[in-house]
Homo-oligomer: A and B are copies of this chain.
């Protein structure tokens, strides 16, 4: 299946939704992808269930503080050079690329790479949403080696990292990213088709596109987008979605530290009742009201505009916005004991126990 230019905006909206407040606004990535399609390049999307077991797949993405991205325009070659560094280290050319993360801008980077290098893009990723660190991947949980990892910047510099430890891969790559100016592009977790089938969250590019289409058409058809999203997501591997709070943003504490956007946002209900407090490290980690847990990682917590259902990323939260908070479950591969060690509450330093979002 080829990606059509008219699908790109929907995909970006859905990616912002799955970004759980983080992941970086996919707007710039969407522009880059549309430019490639307008120039006549193709972007083929492959179903992970239909690829050869021997296919060499090298995922591509960007990392760093999303806020820096807007001031540090990519040259366009960075993710290509990152991928080629991994090819060189392996001594073999990639047959395809794929997202490491479907939430936020990283849904679009592999599409751009695919267009530029003529590589198909696998419809799957390693987070099923957005997470802030490189070891927080279903790939890692399933034992896929993270390196050789390539990392490149807009000045033409690049590096190749080798380590057996997924946390140290993150630690070293984060250090390089900071030295490269706060953002960098990378390729890691090179794997075979058989490993993609076993270790990825499948059909997430399609999922993002459908979420975007629902939000767009509900607006046009003047029907309730939130109800539509809940109905649709219940039919997917994510299983459940529901509105957990509605109100107005009345407090906002947001800092950039250690290369992340850290803080919390407070939402007050229109009527009487307790405030909702959402804590975030790039992505939203937990939502609580009066101390009671409404939702927590790895479940997806997304803040949406109450009027348009447009997803709001944490760098654009503003005092006084009227918002609706939606929580979404995650597929079984993301809820296992091993998965929770990698990106459950404790992995973010939270004391709370994971309580999966149940159906009503």
Nearest B residue to A174 via CB reads B179
Cβ of A349 within 8 Å of any chain B Cβ, yes or no, is no
A158 contacts the other chain (CB 8 A): yes
**A162 proximity list for chain B (CB < 8 A):** 85, 157-159
- Interface segment out of the listed A46-54, A165-173, A321-329: A165-173
Question: Within 8 Å CB of A155, what residues of B?
Answer: 163, 165, 168
Interface string of A123-167 (1 = CB under 8 A from B): 000000000000000000000000000000001111111111100
- Judged by a CB distance under 8 angstroms, whether A3 is at the interface is no
Residues of B within 8 A of A174 (CB): 179
Contact mask for chain A residues 82-117; partner B; CB cutoff 8 A; 1 contact, 0 none: 000100110000000000000000000000000000
Residue picked from A155, A161, A180, most chain B C-beta under 10 Å: A161
Q: Within the oligomer, what is the number of copies of this chain?
A: 2
Question: Are A159 and B157 touching (Cβ within 8 A)?
Answer: no
Q: Which of A88, A155, A176, A179 counts the most B-chain CB atoms under 10 A from its CB?
A: A179
| Nearest CB of chain B from residue A72's CB, rounded to whole Å | 15
**Is residue A320 within 8 Å, beta carbon to beta carbon, of the partner chain?**
no
What are the residues of chain B within 8 A of A161 when measuring CB–CB? 157-159
A156 touches B163 (CB 8 A): yes
The reply to whether A172 and B163 contact each other, CB–CB distance below 8 Å, is: no
Minimum distance in angstroms from A119 CB to a CB of chain B: 22
Nearest Cβ on chain B to A14's Cβ, whole angstroms: 34
**Contact residue range for chain A?**
20 to 34
Kindly list chain B residues whose C-beta atoms are within 8 Å of the C-beta of A358: none
Bitwise, A63-92 to B at CB < 8 A (1) or not (0) is 000000000000000000000010011000
Assess whether A175 is interfacial by the CB under 8 Å rule: yes
Instruction: Compute how far the CA of A85 lies from the CA of B161 in the bound complex, rounded to whole angstroms.
Output: 10
A168 vs B154: C-alpha distance when bound (angstroms): 13
Residue A339 CB within 8 A of the other chain: no
Residue of B nearest to A158 (CB): B162
Instruction: Please tell me if A55 contacts chain B, counting CB pairs below 8 Å.
Output: no
Whole-angstrom distance between the Cβ of A340 and the nearest chain B Cβ: 26
Residues of chain B with a CB closer than 8 A to A158's CB: 161-163
Contact string against B for A residues 164-205, beta-carbon threshold 8 Å, 1 for contact and 0 otherwise: 110010011011101110000000000000000000000000
Tell me whether A175 and B179 are in contact (CB under 8 A): yes
Q: How far is the CA of A299 from the CA of B174 in the complex (A)?
A: 38
Report the Cα distance A158→B162, complex, angstroms.
5
Say yes or no: A163 contacts B157, CB within 8 Å: yes
CB distance from A155 to the nearest CB of B (A): 7
Complex contacts, A89 vs chain B, CB 8 Å: 88, 160
> Could you tell me if A172 and B168 are in contact, using CB atoms closer than 8 angstroms?
no
Assess the B165–A172 pair: CB atoms within 8 A: no
Docked-complex contact A171 and B164, CB < 8 angstroms: no
The answer to whether A176 and B172 touch across the interface, beta carbons within 8 angstroms, is yes
A-B contact list, 26 entries, CB within 8 Å: A85-B162, A89-B160, A155-B168, A156-B163, A156-B164, A157-B161, A157-B162, A157-B163, A157-B165, A158-B161, A158-B162, A158-B163, A159-B159, A159-B161, A159-B162, A159-B172, A160-B160, A171-B179, A172-B179, A172-B180, A174-B179, A175-B175, A175-B176, A175-B178, A176-B176, A176-B179
**A-B complex: 4 closest residue pairs judged by Cβ atoms:** A175-B179, A157-B163, A160-B160, A175-B175
Query: Which positions in A face B, CB cutoff 8 Å?
Result: 85, 88-89, 155-165, 168, 171-172, 174-176, 178-180
